[in-house]
Amino acid sequence: MDRIGTDIQYAARLLRDGKLVAIPTETVYGLAANALDPGAVLRVFEVKERPSFDPLIVHVGSKEQALGLISDPPEEALDLMNEFWPGPLTLVLAKRDLVPDLVTSGLPTIAVRMPAHPMALSLLRSLPFPLAAPSANPFGYISPTSAQHVIDGLGDKVAYVLDGGSCRIGVESTVLGYKDGAWVLLRQGGVAQESIEEHVQIGAVQASSTSRPEAHGMLSSHYAPRTPLVLGDPEALLPNYAGARVAVLSFQERYSGGMVDLVLSPSGELTEAARNLFALLRQADASGAEVIIAERVPQVGLGRAINDRLARAATERDV
């Protein structure tokens, strides 16, 4: 059997046997394991070389399956599920005892979502258990948005990659938690903050954490290429790197002066920019450049998630 394919039944058999399978979602590819099997979950941490204090997001195939994992959800949580699921919204809520502590890094809460990818949903609905599925890449590196990205990063450490094509959204899910009777935005992502605020009041927007994250993807250094990345105005920064091999990653305008000029969205569309972000970061990283200069995008809608990922990928940033 090839290591990349579209055989959902084969992927399901591997997962039932405790193996790891990379699965497509609308956000990024996930490294999936039986979320209720601590041994399989431990292999996710080992393959990704991921610290055990960083909790995993659990993927479900139905709202009913999610309700079997969480305890006493607020009424608004059900409204959010009805509005945004399937889709790129993760909810962090009190967990039931059947959820292994390894999945939640010992926290009393679970991060759960229903992905909006037909292959992922078909797989989930064929299984009697949910899937713990962080991004299918080495810990801290750029997230994968294609099956080939998974193989490039993990090689034969994953039993099978279910190939669902390029990810439609391209940045991870938005993470929304409920603490002390209020909603807290824990991570910007594929559902815009403005869309959530049409349905619930957000009491706080939490910055990334370096010590005790409450959900996957909250560490302050993450999604990073191996090439140093500087975040700021390319026009102002390029003179500082005269004579160096520079890759420029810009939003809409193409800047001269770099050996590689990559544009997230020539049309200036944030949805296109989000979809292209990780693939172009990988291209910049593989270009042979000594430094990547990346430009911020407008801080609205999906732009918040794009800027969040760029900031956490950066080794330096302007003020």
Residue ranges per domain, the chain? 4-205, 229-317
Q: Name which of 222, 195, 244 is nearest 313 in CA terms.
A: 222
Same fold, 4-205 and 229-317: no
Residue 104, pLDDT score: 96
Q: Specify the pLDDT at position 217.
A: 56
Using CA atoms, how far residue 113 sits from 27, 70, 158, 298, in Å, is 12, 12, 22, 27
Q: In what order do the strands lie in the sheet with 246-250?
A: 260-263, 246-250, 291-294, 229-231, 316-317
pLDDT, position 316:
72
Rounded to two decimals, what is the model's pTM?
0.93
The residues of the chain scoring below 50 in pLDDT are 210-211, 319
Q: Domain 229-317 carries which CATH code?
A: 3.40.50.11030
Contact 8, 162 (CB under 8 A): yes
Q: Report the pLDDT value the prediction gives residue 317, as an integer from 0 to 100.
A: 65
At residue 319, the pLDDT reads: 45
Which helix (DSSP H) or strand (DSSP E) does residue 34 occupy? strand 30-34
Handedness of CA 8, 10, 13, 17 (dihedral sign): negative
Report whether 220 contacts 313 (CB < 8 A): no
What φ, ψ does residue 258 adopt, rounded to 5°?
A: -95, 155
pLDDT of 223 reads 79
Let me know if domain 4-205 sits in CATH 3.30.450.20: no
pLDDT for the residue 257: 80
